[in-house]
Structures are given as C-alpha cells and as structure tokens.
Amino acid sequence: MVALVFFLGYKVYESIMEPVEYKKATDKREKVIKQKLGHIKSLEIEYKKIYGKYTGDFDTLIDFYHNDSMPLVMKIGTVPDTLTETVALEMGIISRDTTKIAIKDTLLQDLGVFNVDRLAEVPFTHGKVKFELESGTVVRANFDVPVFEVKCYKKDYLAEIKAQELLQNDILLLQEDDKFPGLKLGSLTEPSTDGNW
C-alpha cells in the first residue's frame, strides 16, 4: 500500500512538472534561436545597405560577412557653434574621409566564438535542420520595397524534448490561431524586420 501511495505521488508530481519543464526547455531554446535570428537580421540589414536588397541565400550572406566591406565616413575637424555642418564643410573647416572596413571587423564582434559558417543551422538540431530564408519585394505606395523572411519550426528545435504531447498541443493551438508554429523574423508580405515573438 505504501508503494502505491509513493507511486501515485510521483505520478502527480510528474504530471505537474512536465509542463513546467517543457516551458523551461522551450524558453531556453527560443532565447538562443532569437539571438541567432538577430545575427541574421544584422547581416541582412548591412547587406541591403550596400546592395539595395536583401538576400535569400545563406551562402551569399556568409560570403558577404567574410569578403565584403562597408563604407566608414570619418569627420575630421570640429564644427564651430555658429555654423552648420554643411557650411563648415563648404568652408573647409571640417572634412570627411570615406574608407572601407571589412564587414567581419565591424559586425557581430560581440559574439565571441560565433561561427558564421554555421549561420544557416537551427540550434538544437545537430546541424540537420537549416533556417528557411527567402527574400523578395512588396509594393508600397508604388515603390518596390525589399523584404526578407527567416524562420524555423518548433517541431524541429524541440524534437528531442520528452514532452512531445505538449509540443503537439502547442503547435496545434498556434495553427488554430493562424500563427506560425515556430520563430519567424521579417515578412515576405509586409516591409517588416520584426520577429513574431
């Protein structure tokens, strides 16, 4: 009888803790993925500054990081309080010098051991799953506006967790609410670089 009480007590504890552990695992993994999506966004924005559009190809983005450069404008001199910068420039009081600096020497420097060559890989999938990255344009006020979208699915980055039933319920609820069942940054239908979180 005592063994049955302990067994039932354990089952009750387990049923309470399973959703808590699922939420903890989900939050931890999504935090890492959101950070990586932010790195992708930073590279895409710099790519667009130089080329006027986003790229839908990770190889292009990785090559951009390793081999491309961006302009760096340096202002030499100080603008007197009585003048605007434009007037001071015209008078020769200040000057500007534009140089090029390697993308890899400026972007993502605070990441430490970040491996840009694995940029396309979704964390927690052992390199088996890649982010989906697309780019294009949308028309706004008769102008073509460049857009990009990068996404990954919960079913992939949570594939190894124990609470698969909770995962399936979570995905089903998101789909019923017409929400993307994972993490997504940007949009192919709106000029936005925001995430869905």
pLDDT exceeds cutoff 70 at 13: no
In three-state secondary structure terms, 172 is: helix
Percent of the chain at pLDDT above 90?
41
Q: CB neighbours of 193 closer than 8 A, spacing ≥ 6?
A: 41, 44, 45, 148, 185, 186
What is the spatial distance between Cα 122 and Cα 153, in angstroms, rounded to a whole number?
9
Query: Measuring CA to CA, how many Å separate 67 from each of 28, 59, 93, 103?
Result: 33, 12, 36, 8
Q: What is the pLDDT of residue 158?
A: 83
Query: Measuring CA to CA, how many Å separate 171 from each of 25, 35, 87, 132?
Result: 15, 22, 59, 18
Arithmetic mean of pLDDT, 188-192: 93
Q: What is the pLDDT of residue 169?
A: 77
Residue with tokens 């940029």: 119
What is the spatial distance between Cα 193 and Cα 197, in angstroms, rounded to a whole number?
12
Q: CB neighbours of 28 closer than 8 A, spacing ≥ 6?
A: none
Question: Band of the pLDDT at 179, cuts 50, 70, 90?
Answer: confident
pLDDT exceeds cutoff 80 at 159: yes
Arithmetic mean of pLDDT, 3-29: 68
